[in-house]
């Protein structure tokens, strides 16, 4: 690929497998810490909150795919509540141990390839740090399935594969992460992440008209709006 962008190296992250509930909770807490302390939460607010605010309904709806503890939906709901509106959130995760950490009223255990919701049933479908877990063919299927249930928008935020990202992942593992699962998965995530141009190529086949642009110093954003 180049000096600063290594070849993509798919691997299975530990958190995607059969990890003990306590270990999973500790690693998910690390992920939430990243969002809160390193700008991920601000990035989500910047790119997702305006989409929700523009929905005409006083109670817009959000599906967070691969939601883990549901911290993304909780934060967006709190922000929207400040504007006098209620956000209806569905936190979807295929791992029951992860979904158990999300708010009970919003948590749902299910397969992202077969989302247990009807066509055009939620206003916005979002995901954060989710797309890199899948092969290009799998990601095309996932994006098409998200478009099926989205009434208005599909938006995804993910990291980009880059040697700078690898350095950041290693530093976080040494000084910030509590979980050995997080330390392993951080490096694996970067090595199997997509560049902005790779993600754009995948999205063009699954979601015609989607845009994929850089977002933040080390990531990209996909946005598709229903015609």
Domain extents in the chain:
20-158+193-225
For the chain, the DSSP string reads --SSSPPP-----GGGS---HHHHHHHHHHHHHHHHHSSHHHHHHHHHHHHHHT-SSSS-EEEEET-TT-HHHHHHHHHHHTTT---EEEEEES-HHHHTTS-TTTEEE--TTS-SS-TT-EEEEEEES-GGGS-HHHHHHHHHHHHHHEEEEEEEEEE---HHHHHHHHHHHHHT---HHHHHHHHHHHHHPPPHHHHHHHHHHHSTT-EEEE-STTEEEEEEE--
Q: What was the pLDDT predicted at 216? A: 87
pLDDT tens by residue, 140-172: 999 999 999 999 999 999 999 999 999 999 999
CATH class of the domain defined by 20-158+193-225: alpha beta
Overall average pLDDT of the 77-83 stretch: 97
> Residue 35's pLDDT band (boundaries 50, 70, 90)?
confident
> Is residue 21 scored above 90 in pLDDT?
no
pLDDT score of 19: 86
Instruction: Tell me what the mean pLDDT of segment 54-83 comes to.
Output: 96
How does residue 64 score in pLDDT terms, banded at 50, 70 and 90? very high
Please provide the size of the chain in residues.
227
Looking up tokens 């810490």, which residue turns up?
33
């Amino acid at each position: 690929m180049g000096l600063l962008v290594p070849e993509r190296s798919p691997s299975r992250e530990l958190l995607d497998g059969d990890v003990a509930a306590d270990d999973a909770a500790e690693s998910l807490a690390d992920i939430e810490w990243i969002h809160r302390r390193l700008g991920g939460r601000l990035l989500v607010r910047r790119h997702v909150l305006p989409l929700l605010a523009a929905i005409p309904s006083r109670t817009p709806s959000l599906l967070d795919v691969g939601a883990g503890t549901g911290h993304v939906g909780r934060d967006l709901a709190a922000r929207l509540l400040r504007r006098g509106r209620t956000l209806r959130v569905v936190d979807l995760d295929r791992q029951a141990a992860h979904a158990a950490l999300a708010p009970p009223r919003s948590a749902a255990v299910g397969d992202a390839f077969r989302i247990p919701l009807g066509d055009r049933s939620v206003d916005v479908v979002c995901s954060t740090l989710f797309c890199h877990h899948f092969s290009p063919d799998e990601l095309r299927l996932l994006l098409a399935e998200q478009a099926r249930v989205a009434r208005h928008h599909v938006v995804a935020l993910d990291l980009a594969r880059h040697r700078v990202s690898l350095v950041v992942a290693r530093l976080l593992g040494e000084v910030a992460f509590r979980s050995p699962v997080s330390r392993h998965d951080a490096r694996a995530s970067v090595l199997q992440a997509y560049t902005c141009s790779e993600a754009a190529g995948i999205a063009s086949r699954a979601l015609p008209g989607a845009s994929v642009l850089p977002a933040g110093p080390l990531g990209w954003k996909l946005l598709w709006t229903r015609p």
